[in-house]
Structure 1
Amino acid sequence: MSLSVKLQMRQSQSLVMTPQLMQSIRLLQFNHAELQQFIEQEVERNPLLEIAGEASEQDAPESADIIPLRVHEPEPDGSAERMSESLDADYENVYQDDHGAERPDAPELAASWKSMPGGGSGGLGEGVDIDDFAAMPLTLRDHVAEQVAFAFENVTDRAIANELADHLDPAGYFQGDTHEIAIRLGVNRERIEGVLAKTRSFDPPGIFARSLSECLAIQLERKNRLDPAMATLLDHLDLLARRDFQSLGRLCRVDEEDLLQMLSEIRALDPKPGTRFEETLSEIVVPDVIVRQASDGGWLVELNPDTLPRVLVNQSYCAKVSARLPKAGEGRDFLNECLQTANWLTRSLDQRARTIVKVASEIVKRQDAFFLHGVDHLRPLNLKAVAEAIGMHESTVSRVTSNKFMLTPRGVFELKYFFTVSIGSANNDGETHSAESVRHRIRTLIEQEEPHAVLSDDDLVDLLKKGGIGIARRTVAKYREAMSIPSSVQRRREKRARAKAAVA
């Protein structure tokens, strides 16, 4: 066997992912916020790109597709003299205490009335946002700091209390270690524990507790309801979570009526007292696709105009700059690159919009029964079926449906919601059922059960089979646990207790 080196020529085909092709694929997966951020970055980098609607009325576009930029040319010689003549540069009118150009500390009262001098859009209140003068929301740390200042006269105790407040979590629980705090502050641990005990009298009741049972105990003690039976109940919250009311009644040595009264008091408490100071911003979902019913009984699928990016290529500005550049050079190369990038971005955004409409239209077509009758008629659907119907790759459909939402007459749904696995039929008729519709039926059956006839997982399997759904018991248990629905034993205990409480 001999080894030799040979030179051969081969011709093959391969898919080359160019940077622009990779970016076009990324555009499909962007949601509205990510796409808007990407466009703003491209507009900053590319002088030929503009976002429609940002130009003022004085900079009206020369055509419907062009919004020209105002080019500031350098002033020729003598510009400084002409500029000083056009401006009021008389230094006799300049005073040291003249702060008219500065931003006021608060909106002038006269500026809020158009009939008064200086009022209206050109008054002193121009450019002033009233939200800048609104009070900051009170945080849990600030609320505790106000109470520390009045609760402790000693400077050392006040410093210890402030240190303890720094270890509060958003729910108001104390998460620190008193031993480590004592070493860091150079005081004994007993003093730390004493300050901690005093801080538990702060408002809201329950803060500075180390556990849920301690938090509830503090609140019950404020109401003078922490008796031995209630303390025993708080020590066995695990039994309460399992709805084991019989064991709780035996441990607390109370009858069933007293136990129900104790449970009602527990439900009235706040397990996370610190969250009332937490500033939570609700995220508003902006739908990318809007579905409306047409007059002929069909469905109209269109893109949300509020989420459509309006990016234009400023051809007039490009022509002005191109006329002043030499035919070759770095400036010409940069301008050509900006023009190619701008044209690519506008084409990619248009292709992205068309792809989203195609995918959404196919989803609406296949889930027509859902839009007419509800989740019970949601059909099983996968990405491959949609991809084959519209002539695209399955990965493209997956990117389009990620982080996109659809506004329908039945609410706002993520596009991924309409893709569910298939569950076979119990009648061998070939009809399949969507997993989401099956979960909805399980939830409906459990909500309709009576306290004396709670359905077990086997009962749910039998009822689903009568409805034509063939499903295993372990699948029913998995769906039930995923919906945070307790077992039949726990539901029976809770519903019986509620029924007796209602009778009482």
Structure 2
Amino acid sequence: MALGLRLDLRQTQSLVLTPQLQQAIRLLQLSNHELIGTLRSETEENPFLEIAETAASPKQAPAPVAQPSARPERDNAGDWDQPRPPRALDQQLHGPRRDPDAAGQGSFEARLSELPSLRDELRRQIGMLTADPGLRRLAFDLCDWVDDEGYLREPDALIAERTHAGIERVAAARALLQRCEPTGIGGRDLAECLALQLAERDRLDPAMRRLLDNLPLLARADWPALQRLCGVDRDDLEEMVAELKALDPRPGHAFASEPQVTLLPDIVVYRTGPDAWRIELNPEALPRLVVHGDYHAELTRSGLDLRQREFVNERYQNATWLARAL
């Protein structure tokens, strides 16, 4: 076997992981919030980079300031003869919903002061209404079940199952909660909420109770049926309805609600067919970089030395590459 030397020319292709490519791969693995943090670090080191204002960061609604709202006086007669949609009953009785976030309400000092939340105020009142520690703790737990409108809509049986308490004990805790102010807190539905307020005014007579039991008929403006069920004439029925209109269907709105935090999704999924879906990055959630090319041109014309020019060109190239990578 003969041994010898030979020179061959061979052409091959291979992928070289340059620093820029490595950084691009690392950026793909980051979530939106992690990506924003990385870009902020880059903008601190690179004078040619700036993060444009986008909707990527969480939006926190301003804490509402509770203000008493005066309900406009409306004519009680005439428009009640027309039937309404079933869900229009609340607006018939009490007008549109009060917007606690409405601009222009309250003084500057009122906006600076932090109002107590509904649940904090309920716990404060419950602590003064009973000396039974067990009942107090159970009533404190019920405060977490109260929604922002002041309703405790879950039935006692479900609450007893979740809290591992007897149903009689839950009923006693609900009754304690319903003694709190504003009156109407802890009602299961609109009828019970209004009944609590009427009972405080000593106006929950049998006719009014039958009216509350038939609120769907009031939503349909079925006056003959209501007069027959309540045992009153038309004038008395209109007076009863006027009393309902003076009540508050959402007593929980008298307190500050917890601020809402809205997060934008990283991806958006579209259905394009019976069994086809398209997944896209949410453009509103992606950060956007601004590269200041005019600043680079100005520095280039300013007579920099070799070392400074190399630094400026390197930073500008990194900025333009990072903007393309996004």
TM-score by length of 1: 0.35
Counterpart secondary structure, 2:224: helix
Residue type matched to 2:249 in 1?
P
Give the alignment of 1:160-239 within 5 angstroms: 160-239=138-217
Given the superposition, is the C-alpha separation of residues 235 and 336 from structure 1 closer, same or farther in structure 2, using an over 3 Å criterion?
same
Match of 2:49 in 1: 49
Query: Is the 2:191–2:215 contact (alpha carbons within 8 Å) kept by the matching residues of 1?
Result: yes
Given the superposition, is the C-alpha separation of residues 214 and 339 from structure 1 closer, same or farther in structure 2, using an over 3 Å criterion?
same
Q: Does 1:247 align with 2:225?
A: yes
Q: Does 1:155 align with 2:136?
A: no
- What is the count of residue pairs matched by the alignment? 201
**Which deviations, in whole Å up to 9, do the C-alpha atoms of 1:427-457 show, x marking residues without a partner?**
xxxxxxxxxxxxxxxxxxxxxxxxxxxxxxx
Query: Is the 2:149–2:253 contact (alpha carbons within 8 Å) kept by the matching residues of 1?
Result: yes
Given the superposition, is the C-alpha separation of residues 321 and 165 from structure 1 closer, same or farther in structure 2, using an over 3 Å criterion?
farther
Report the alpha carbon displacement of residue 255 of structure 1 after superposing the two structures with TM: 0.4
Structure 2: 5+ residue runs without aligned partners? 1-34, 53-107, 261-289
- Distance (Å, rounded) in 2 between the aligned partners of 1:215 and 1:145: 19
Residue of structure 2 aligned with 1:324, choices 307, 312, 326: 307
Match of 1:274 in 2: 252
- Distance (Å, rounded) in 1 between the aligned partners of 2:322 and 2:304: 17
Residue of structure 1 aligned with 2:319, choices 305, 314, 338: 338
Percent identical pairs in the alignment equals: 34
Report the alpha carbon displacement of residue 154 of structure 1 after superposing the two structures with TM: 1.1
Query: Is the 1:51–1:311 contact (alpha carbons within 8 Å) kept by the matching residues of 2?
Result: no
Given the superposition, is the C-alpha separation of residues 225 and 317 from structure 1 closer, same or farther in structure 2, using an over 3 Å criterion?
farther
Counterpart secondary structure, 1:196: helix
**Which deviations, in whole Å up to 9, do the C-alpha atoms of 1:244-279 show, x marking residues without a partner?**
122111111100100110010111111111012134
Two-structure CA RMSD over aligned residues (Å): 4.2
Given the superposition, is the C-alpha separation of residues 49 and 185 from structure 1 closer, same or farther in structure 2, using an over 3 Å criterion?
closer
Give the alignment of 1:61-76 within 5 angstroms: none
Report the alpha carbon displacement of residue 191 of structure 1 after superposing the two structures with TM: 1.5
- Distance (Å, rounded) in 2 between the aligned partners of 1:145 and 1:220: 24
Match of 1:385 in 2: none
Counterpart secondary structure, 2:226: helix
Q: Return the structure number with greater relative CO, CA threshold 8 A, min gap 6.
A: 2
Report the alpha carbon displacement of residue 189 of structure 1 after superposing the two structures with TM: 1.4
Given the superposition, is the C-alpha separation of residues 252 and 321 from structure 1 closer, same or farther in structure 2, using an over 3 Å criterion?
farther
- Distance (Å, rounded) in 2 between the aligned partners of 1:224 and 1:40: 61
**Which deviations, in whole Å up to 9, do the C-alpha atoms of 1:199-247 show, x marking residues without a partner?**
2111011110101101011011111111111111111111111111221
- Distance (Å, rounded) in 2 between the aligned partners of 1:340 and 1:185: 58
Query: Is the 1:326–1:332 contact (alpha carbons within 8 Å) kept by the matching residues of 2?
Result: yes
Given the superposition, is the C-alpha separation of residues 277 and 320 from structure 1 closer, same or farther in structure 2, using an over 3 Å criterion?
farther
Report the alpha carbon displacement of residue 335 of structure 1 after superposing the two structures with TM: 3.0
- Distance (Å, rounded) in 1 between the aligned partners of 2:304 and 2:131: 72
Query: Is the 2:149–2:252 contact (alpha carbons within 8 Å) kept by the matching residues of 1?
Result: yes
Report the alpha carbon displacement of residue 135 of structure 1 after superposing the two structures with TM: 4.0
Residue type matched to 2:128 in 1?
F
- Distance (Å, rounded) in 2 between the aligned partners of 1:162 and 1:175: 16
Report the alpha carbon displacement of residue 137 of structure 1 after superposing the two structures with TM: 1.6
Report the alpha carbon displacement of residue 176 of structure 1 after superposing the two structures with TM: 3.5
Match of 1:403 in 2: none
- Distance (Å, rounded) in 2 between the aligned partners of 1:148 and 1:321: 73
TM-score by length of 2: 0.52
Query: Is the 1:139–1:278 contact (alpha carbons within 8 Å) kept by the matching residues of 2?
Result: yes
